[in-house]
Amino acid sequence: MELHGQHIYLRLLTPDDVSEAYVAWMNDSEITQYLESRWTVQTKDTIRAFVQATCDSSKDFLFGMFLNENHKHIGNIKIGNINQVHRFGDVGLIIGDKASWGKGFAAEAIALVTRYGFEELNLHKLFAGMYEQNLGSYKAFIKAGYSDAGRYKQHFFCQGRYVDALWVEKCRD
């Protein structure tokens, strides 16, 4: 299954998609500076195990982001922790290919996965949280139609100090 956008497409990842480039992203402190995975050194085996666990889960959907022009894997986006009773889930993403930063691919991926969550998974609400310094992520969610949902004061420990968490949300129309 693929979700097609103007510049990228998304498809569910499998353990076979775990490349040396993917492992390098997950061990690059600049790329992972706002991810909880930054605390652990990642290997091909640990990442394959993570991808397999999401494949086996009924509550998580992990998509790779691929460029339409050359099928290059540039990042991932996930709808996770799905609650079927209340019909919500959270969205998280990473663009590991630094050459793809600042080009609108995150907003496009968010829009694609949001449509999937609402139309295919029958969710009512999606939300995301991020470190307050992660302005690129915040702007991408706003561009994709999400709204401010609030702020948790001094929620994350980052670069030697506590920083706020920003929350965004989108409800199904």
pLDDT digits (tens, 9 = 90+) for 52-82: 999 999 999 999 999 999 999 999 999 999 9
CATH number of the domain where residue 78 is located: 3.40.630.30
Read off the amino acid at residue 140.
Answer: A
The 10s digit of each residue's pLDDT in 117-169 is 999 999 999 999 999 999 999 999 999 999 999 999 999 888 889 999 999 99
Q: Which domain holds residue 64?
A: 2-124
How many domains does the structure of the chain reveal?
1
- pLDDT at residue 38, rounded to an integer: 64
Which tokens belong to 120? Answer: 């295919």
Question: How far is 27 from 23, CA to CA, in rounded Å?
Answer: 6
Torsion-angle region of residue 61: left (phi > 0), alpha (psi -120 to 50) or beta?
Answer: beta
Question: How far is 130 from 35, CA to CA, in rounded Å?
Answer: 9
Residue 33 domain-assigned?
A: yes
- pLDDT at residue 102, rounded to an integer: 93
| pLDDT above 80 for 101 | yes
Which tokens belong to 43? Answer: 């290997």
Which tokens belong to 8? Answer: 């990228």
| Stated pTM of the model | 0.94
